[in-house]
Amino acid sequence: MAQSHPCPPKNSWKSKMNQAKLHRLVSDQFREKDSNALFDLRLTTNLSLIQHLFFSLYAEEEHSEAFKKLLNQLPKLFATRPDALKKQDVQRLKDGNWYQSQKIMGMQLYVEHFNKDLKGLQHKIPYLKELGINFVHMMPITTRPKGESDGGYAVNSYHEVDKKYGTKEDLLELTSEFRKQGIFLMLDFVVNHTSNEFSWAKKAMKGDKKYQGYYYTFEDDTIPKEYEKTLPEVFPETSPGNFTHIPEMNKWVMTVFNTYQWDLNYTNPEVFMEMLANLVKLVNMGVDVVRFDALAFLWKKIGTISQNLPEAHNLIALFRMCLQVVAPGVVLLAEAIVAPTDIIKYFGEDQKEGNECEIAYNASLMALLWNSIATKKTQLLYKSWAHVPPKPKDCTWINYIRCHDDIGLGYENNLLYELGLNPEMHRKFLLDYYCQRLDWSPATGQVFMYNPKTGDGRITGSAASLLGLEKGLAQNDPEMIEGSIAKIIMLHGITFAFGGIPLIYAGDEIGTLNDYSYLKDKSKKNDSRWLNRPMQDWDMIAKLDDEKRPQAKIFHALQKLIRIRKENPVFADCNDVQLYHTGNDHILVFERSNSKKEGLLVICNFDENPQVIETSWVKKLGYFAQGDPKDLVSNKKIEINSGLLEVLPYQMFWLQRA
């Protein structure tokens, strides 16, 4: 799966050299292509960092034996890596930052909601290819408790495939087919917690002290009460508090998410080493990107909110540095849905720069897009983006408009104040707008996890339903339907063009509506995120030739935008996104450019009325150097007569500077 390096070498060498680049250099320098020799070189290259990170977490006086054990463990883990993947690792090192390529286009899916099981998914590869998808985030597929399991995020095992999805052989067959067809696979590593049925939890419940030490367990609630003073609640409606009393062992255990998800105790180095082994088993099944689930929560400290702590960063970098020695072709995605300034830190800072996670969710852009739709204005997006620190050159975003989770309203209060908005009232307005409390709003979402103690709430709903398609169809309102189609296309188009890996939630490409069937399922009805995890509608997909259908319009428009993205290197992420103010608060403009002077100017209107922008500055950027510029979306040259460019409601231009 050779992918040429998307950014010109000159550009990329300007950045600080991270360990991955050092490995590339080292493996190029040495003629020796024996994989064991390369492993030794990688270990030597990363060793001092591994040592530093390990002892920053585990005091040397107490844990020098554990460190020796880790050093012993790494070659053993490498020995378990299949030859085909070892070969691919070396090739990936050569290929460079494949994840920054414009050729990558992602889709997130629940296997059972897509096409039943792993074999079913394999069967639908042609559909993925037809749309242009070559990166798949498959939601958890390993064994989990019967009944509630947080969609598999309560894990009973890190590598046993749950039989409802098929067998391990089915998974291996699928990953090998993906490799043949040039499709990258992302799987979750649920690194923060296991289920209460995981073997360690079961042993702990039986009184085994060793395994009780794998979790945060307490004799009574004295220490838990100290933690609770500052810990927020993740699921306040269904799982209030952060500790659960377990009668079987008569102890309290930390359960930050659901009561059946026990937080792992990483202050114990044995936990780190066992989890590293689990991680390697997972990637050895053919995983290209590991989604580090809930990684902000990995380290806990009394008196703090126990998120984004410096020790959590050191721990993640330690995982990264060890995995890089064993499986250098695998990259990490940070699932940190936190403040923009905190997200950036998961790319690594200082010595860790570029050595923590290569990819992170662009949760900031996602939340700001929803704010812009509801307010029809883009000022908060501009203001907030100006506060996002630059990311390291070798790192990239996953850009998305929504995922399987809820949409949180994590805007910075001081910026809301600067815009003259009261943060509390503004959040209430957004919840009202999206969750059916305003008659005039086209959205049909629902409130998720409202916390009366803090007034916080989040939003659930499929993209199409949040953008008005459900209501438009129910009311047979052609204007609302057309508006929603335009919004669905524009929001996706922004994520395709922003720089990074776009990730479409399966079904959004055909405007799938909310799925209310979860209310009939006892194990799901208390979690309204299932509203936005609909079944893939293959009957509808069979009818996409009928161009008049809203679903067909969305599908064909996105398919075309994907094709355009893949054909134009300017879409590759070279850390070049630049926002421009136009003086019109309804408009968003950003530019992408590369060192070949190629440029792409994205212009979007978030208002329901046509808007105009003055264009002399666009000329200065060189877009008219060869006559009127072409809009890649409509494949037409744009004409500007009076010096003003008209942008229709929810229209998106992709102007090309050749």
3-state secondary structure of 212: helix
**Number of chain positions touching ligand GLC (CB under 6 A):** 9
Residue 262 CB, nearest approach to ligand GLC (Å)? 12
- Give the separation between CA 225 and CA 245, rounded to whole angstroms: 13
Q: For ligand GLC, which residue of 38, 161, 282, 294 counts as binding (CB under 6 A)?
A: 294
Please identify, using beta-carbon distances, which residue of 190 and 544 lies nearer to ligand GLC: 190
CA 298 to chain centre: 17
Q: Is 293 in the site for ligand GLC (CB under 6 A)?
A: yes
Q: How far is the CB of 562 from ligand GLC (least distance, A)?
A: 25
Report strand pairing: 193-195 vs 261-263.
Answer: antiparallel
Tell me whether residue 108 or residue 217 sits nearer to ligand GLC (CB atom): 108
**Cβ(193)–Cβ(260) below 8 Å:** no
Packing angle, helices 478-497 and 550-567, rounded to 10:
20
332 sits near ligand GLC (criterion: CB under 6 A): no
Rounded Cα gap, residues 112 and 116, in angstroms: 4
Measured from each CB, the residue nearest to ligand GLC is: 153
d(CA 382, CA 363): 15
Q: Residue 652, interface with ligand GLC (CB under 6 A)?
A: no
Residue 290 engages ligand GLC in binding (rule: CB under 6 A) = no
Q: Shortest approach of ligand GLC to residue 327 CB, angstroms? A: 23
- Nearest-approach distance from CB 410 to ligand GLC, in angstroms: 13
DSSP output for 289-304: EEEETTGGGS---TTS
Say how far apart CA 296 and CA 319 lie, in whole Å. 14
Q: Would you say 148 or 150 has its CB closer to ligand GLC? A: 150
Q: What is the smallest separation between the CB atom of 430 and ligand GLC, expressed in angstroms?
A: 21
For residue 186, give every residue at least 6 positions away whose Cβ sits within 8 Å of its Cβ, in sequence order, or none.
106, 135, 136, 137, 138, 287, 288, 289, 290, 291, 333
How far, in Å, CA of 648 to CA of 257, rounded?
44
When asked if residue 405 is in the footprint of ligand GLC (CB under 6 A), the reply is yes
Helices then strands, each counted (H, E), the chain: 25, 23
Task: Provide the H-helix boundaries in 363-453.
Answer: 363-375, 379-387, 413-418, 423-434
Amino acid at 128: L
CB of 657 to ligand GLC, least distance (A): 38
Instruction: Look up 226 and say whether it is catalytic.
Output: no
With contact defined as beta carbons under 8 Å apart, do 425 and 409 qualify? no
382 binds ligand GLC (CB under 6 A): no
342 lines the binding site for ligand GLC (CB under 6 A): no
Does the footprint of ligand GLC cover residue 187 (CB under 6 A)?
A: no
Per CB under 6 A, does 421 bind ligand GLC? Answer: no
For residue 110, state whether it binds ligand GLC (rule: CB under 6 A): no
Q: Is 89 a catalytic residue?
A: no
Phi/psi of residue 651, nearest 5 degrees: -85, 150
- Interactions with ligand GLC, residue window 18-77 (CB under 6 A): none
> Measured from the CB of residue 454, what is the shortest distance to ligand GLC in angstroms?
19
Binding of ligand GLC by 158 (CB under 6 A): no
Nearer to ligand GLC, 282 or 652 (CB): 282
Q: Is 449 in the site for ligand GLC (CB under 6 A)?
A: no
SS (H, E, C) 512-532: CCCCHHHHHCCCCCCCHHHHH
* Residue closer to ligand GLC (CB basis): 190 or 431: 190
Taking CB under 6 A as the rule, does residue 150 contact ligand GLC?
yes
Does residue 263 interact with ligand GLC by CB under 6 A?
Answer: no
| Residue 114 interacting with ligand GLC (CB under 6 A) | no
Quick check: helix, strand or coil at residue 107? strand
- Which residue's CB is nearer to ligand GLC, number 405 or number 537? 405
From the candidates 288, 335, 353, 573, give the one annotated as an active-site residue: 335
Instruction: Tell me which residue of 640, 637, 586 sits closest to 615, measured CA to CA.
Output: 640
* 289-292 and 184-189 strand pairing: parallel
Residue of 293, 456, 508, 509 marked active site: 293
Q: What span, in angstroms and rounded, lies between the C-alpha atoms of 267 and 327?
A: 25
Among 110, 158, 243, 257, binds ligand GLC (CB under 6 A): 257
347 forms part of the interface with ligand GLC (CB under 6 A): no
**Residue 190 or 467 having the CB closest to ligand GLC:** 190
Q: Of these, 174, 190, 254, 326, which contacts ligand GLC (CB under 6 A)?
A: 190
Q: Is 189 in the site for ligand GLC (CB under 6 A)?
A: no
Interface with ligand GLC includes 262 (CB under 6 A)? no
Residue among 390, 361, 365 nearest 378 (CA): 365
Asked if 297 contacts 183 with a C-beta cutoff of 8 angstroms, the reply is no
Cα separation, 529 vs 276, whole angstroms: 30
Of 39, 54, 114, 153, the one binding ligand GLC by CB under 6 A: 153
Q: Which residue has the tokens 């067809």?
A: 181
| Binding-site ranges for ligand GLC (CB under 6 A) | 150, 153, 190, 257, 293-294, 335, 404-405
Question: Which active-site residues does the annotation give?
Answer: 293, 335
